[in-house]
Structure 1
Amino acid sequence: MSVATRGLTLVTCVATLDVPRHVVEFLARHLAAHRQRLGTPKGSRALKPFRQAALVLRWFRERGCVHCLARDAGVSHATGYRYLYAGIDVIADQAPELHEVLARCRREGMTHVIMGGTMIESDRLTGVRIHALPALYKAAADGLPTLADKGYIGADIGIRIPVRRNRQDLWMDGNWRLDRRAVVRRKKYTAALLASHGYPALALGNFALPGLPATLHDIPLEHFASAARLLAAQPGTDPARVVAMGYSRGSKAALLLGEDYPALIHGAVVYSPSAQVSPGSPGGGNAWTKDSQPIAQDTIPLGQVSGPVLALAGAGDPGIRPTRRR
């Protein structure tokens, strides 16, 4: 069959959509129900639900230009876009929420969940922080850990990232060799998680980042105190409840801040901690200073801390010398 238009002869042909008919009918039923919920008068749409479903599924299969789909369906470009977006919304409504999937996995006795996807460069964590991480953390607390790809590095609790790396590469000269970028991401995720629960939080680097010392040597406590004052001055922050949080060697800084700035820091949360001031890394020397003077490598007394101290630790950390018992 041919059609003449503006002096040109266009040839039409019949194409086959490589989608099972029951899939098209399934989507068509949901599109019809959607129209009924909206109160759409019968016969008022240019395409019936079945043809709209075919348009939507063809776009998913071919990812072709929408105006071509609209032309083939005999509708305007604007109508084609409306039909496509409406179909996508109807399909999305049928997908279970992440927490529903995790609950079903627990009911079925699954031991873990594997998450994957396409890596997309982004500096915005809002979607993950609001929609994904809370559900994954709850699932982990209920005994269902998640095995995720490297996009979730630093997400912490219950989210495990497989890394193919020789253990010998991690331990050398008595010190763990850390991926500083992974450490920074972990702290950013921690701050984002706290903020998502209503706790104002500030993630602060202290070395091996732009504008900071390259190694853990002579880091001034004033660096942290200035950040704490900045956080205390933010709307929604109670200055009387500002606490410091630190991991491993950072636990020393958190405890020192609580001890030396009791009017500013009102407690500490420390992971894999030690109450002993360790030397700088690598190579020794002084790790921390105050008033431009090195802080002695001795036990942190904690007699002046003006709030609670929460310490969490698992097995021994071979990179840190043992804490002396008192």
Structure 2
Amino acid sequence: MTLVYLRKGETYAELGAGFAVSTTTAWRYINETVDVLAAHAPKLGAALAKAVKDGLPYLLLDGTLVSIDRVAADRPYYSGKHRRHGMNLQVIAAPDGSLLWVSGPLRGSVHDLAAARIWGVVRALAATGLPVLADKAYQGAGPHILTPYKGRDKPEPQKDANRAHARLRGPGERANAQLKSWRILRKLRCCPHRAGRLAKAIHTLQLRETASR
């Protein structure tokens, strides 16, 4: 039932009808299972320690917005960057785009750099000694987080550096795409603050699937 909920994003009423249980029972079963799965998702420190142990040459940091069902009056949830309401999640990925860690949720109005600092990501990444590639939203995070050069009419060496940066950072989008391939995260119609739990539960399932191959 929980897999159907996460994969297809069906409502509790639809799931209850399909599995011959009440809507309330479907809600309880799913939320309890999601909480258990989320609790098994990698913690930030453990995920970064494994990245160092595995000899990863660098890491990818990005933010993603999980859209939510909100009205214009709910300004704290509105992301100016994405121009829609949602919850901000921070994602750390390996160079090949494999998801290593996903944060809890913050309101969409919180900028990516602020979110990374709130979750202690900037400090934790610095402690690994690994270079980190991120987009312009993270400029000013520190020398260990490499972002593209800003400004117009950049000299050719900076343009070349930005192109190389984009090529290396491109696979990071795969981590976000992996999360969004589960329909429940395409647009939440439950409590917005469940976004992090749902993302962590999905991460746990992805890790189990990878381990079983």
TM-score, normalization by structure 2: 0.45
Higher RCO structure, 1 or 2 (CA under 8 Å, sep 6+): 2
TM-score, normalised with respect to structure 1 = 0.31
